[in-house]
Structure 1
Amino acid sequence: MHELGVVIEVVKVVENFAARNNLTKIDTVVLQIGELSSMIPKYVENCYPAAVDGTMLEGTKLKIEILPGNAMCKSCNKVYNLLQNRKECPYCKSKHWELLSGKEFLIKQIVAY
């Protein structure tokens, strides 16, 4: 499970951001995870308490937003969700597409109080 190592890095990034901006209390960390990324949101949630233990983020909330795995069909230029359509364009049935989103793993927001 590589999620723990990645979440530990997220904690370090947030702590560095807080230090640079003189933030002493963080309430919530909001992550965006693409549904096609290698990160499994449930595992990230499960790892978070261990990753923040003993840090300034201990006791903070984690919010995860899932970003859709969208592609644009190279045949008809329509946008569709790859997972929902099994990688086949629902409009023209082509299997030739260009990935638009879904592999992201981002810190979207740090909510301080």
Structure 2
Amino acid sequence: MHELGILMGAIETVEKFAKKNGVTDIQTLVLQIGELSAMIPKYIEDCYPAAVAGTLLQETELKIEILPGNAICQSCGKVFNLIANHDACLSCGSGDWEILCGKEFMIKEIVAC
């Protein structure tokens, strides 16, 4: 479960940002996780309470936004969702594509009180 280590790194980043900017009370942390990333949102949610215990984020709410795993077809130029279309272009059926987005793991927003 590599999610815990990565999540702890994100929490450390948020804490450093908060201290640098004089933020002492954080209400919500919003993370964006791509459909194609190695991160499993359910695991992030499950280990979040343990990861924030004893930190500035201990009382925060976690929100996760899932970003689509989109690709562009190299044959016809159409953009499509890889997961929904089983790795084949919806328009021409080609398997020759390039990923545009969906591998992200980002801190989107820190909501302070």
Please report the TM-score for the alignment, with normalisation by the length of structure 2: 0.99
**How many angstroms apart in 1 are the aligned matches of 2:57 and 2:93?**
47
- Quote the residue 1:19 is aligned against: 19
Point out where structure 2 has 5 or more consecutive residues left out of the alignment.
Answer: none
Would you say 1:63 and 2:37 are equivalent positions? no
Q: How many residues align?
A: 113
Mapping of residues 1-113 of structure 1, within 5 Å:
1-113=1-113
Q: Secondary structure at the match of 2:92?
A: coil
> After TM superposition, which residue ranges in structure 1, 4 or more long, deviate above 3 angstroms?
none
What do residues 68-106 of structure 1 show as CA deviations (whole Å, max 9, x unaligned)? Answer: 000000010000000011110010111100100000000
Please report the TM-score for the alignment, with normalisation by the length of structure 1: 0.99
**How many angstroms apart in 1 are the aligned matches of 2:106 and 2:11?**
12
Per the TM alignment, residue 59 of structure 1 is displaced from its structure 2 partner at its CA by 1.1
Q: Percent identity?
A: 62
Point out where structure 1 has 5 or more consecutive residues left out of the alignment.
Answer: none
**How many angstroms apart in 2 are the aligned matches of 1:75 and 1:35?**
23
Q: Secondary structure at the match of 1:14?
A: helix
